[in-house]
Amino acid sequence: MTQDPLDQALARIVREVPGVAFLTPGFTDRLRTAFQGPQAGARTPSGLRISRSRATGRWEIDVRVVTLSGSRALDVTRATRSAVLAHLLAHHSPGTAGAAVTVTVTGVV
């Protein structure tokens, strides 16, 4: 079994959090056409940004989600953050343990 790249694994984890409808679509996803190239699935999922601080070397993970109506945004953001951190601790290098995870709710459906 092959291991998912970090961005793909985190996108899958976030989508499984109760109350998350989907990751916030990016601008290019909104302008999707029939002429999409074969590499479209290879890019970082919209609604997820993973970077590393040049100053501290600390991982910075920004997650943007749309929640389901009837779900409390605070509960969804806390659960999403916990799920991301738990995945990092369980499946990735110790360097990701101190990651800064920010979760933003951008809409409700």
Per-residue pLDDT of the chain (109 residues; tens, 9 = 90+): 345 688 899 999 999 999 999 999 864 444 554 455 555 445 567 899 998 888 888 889 999 999 999 999 999 999 999 999 999 888 876 667 678 999 999 999 9
Query: Which residue has tokens 């976030």?
Result: 14
Domains (ranges, CATH) in the chain? 6-25+45-108 (3.30.70.1350)
Contacts by 38-47 with C-beta closer than 8 Å and gap 24+?
A: 44/7, 45/7, 45/8, 45/11, 47/11, 47/14, 47/22, 47/23
Alpha carbons within 13 angstroms on the beta-carbon side of residue 104 total 9
Global confidence as pTM? 0.79
